[in-house]
């Protein structure tokens, strides 16, 4: 079974390669959504691909723009800027796309 890798996405295990602040695109299954009351409208999403997990930060203004994908997407493609701080890598989202229909490919047999 092949993972339905969207084109031009960086796997989680390669996020250490681009420099801090680089623009990257990642994709994966949504395994966690958090909206802490103390975060002033910021949403944290954790995506998982076949190589690991990716932490996504969604600022309130961007959430309003991509609300449907953020709330309902089971699989997302996110483009944004890499941010490394205290040994933790995040992607600060700029664009969020619901690519859940690609999950149907997992059921296809070669």
pLDDT tens profile 31-47? 999 988 887 889 999 99
CA nearest neighbour of 42 among 95, 92, 100: 92
Mean predicted confidence (pLDDT) in 91-106: 90
CA distances from 88 to 15, 49, 67 (A): 11, 17, 25
Given this model, what pLDDT does residue 105 score?
Answer: 73
Given this model, what pLDDT does residue 75 score?
Answer: 95
> Is residue 91 in some structural domain?
yes
Quote the domain boundaries for residue 97: 24-104
Check which CATH number belongs to the domain holding 96 and give it. 2.40.50.140
């Amino acid at each position: 079974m092949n993972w339905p890798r969207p084109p031009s996405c960086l796997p989680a295990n390669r996020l250490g390669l681009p420099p801090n602040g680089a623009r990257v695109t990642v994709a994966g299954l949504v395994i966690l959504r958090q909206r802490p009351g103390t975060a002033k409208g910021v949403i944290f999403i954790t995506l998982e691909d076949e190589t690991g997990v990716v932490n996504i930060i969604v600022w309130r203004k961007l959430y309003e723009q991509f609300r449907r994908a953020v709330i309902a997407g089971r699989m997302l493609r996110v483009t944004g800027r890499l941010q490394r701080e205290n040994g933790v890598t995040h992607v600060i989202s700029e664009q969020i796309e619901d690519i859940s229909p690609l999950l149907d490919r997992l059921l296809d047999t070669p």
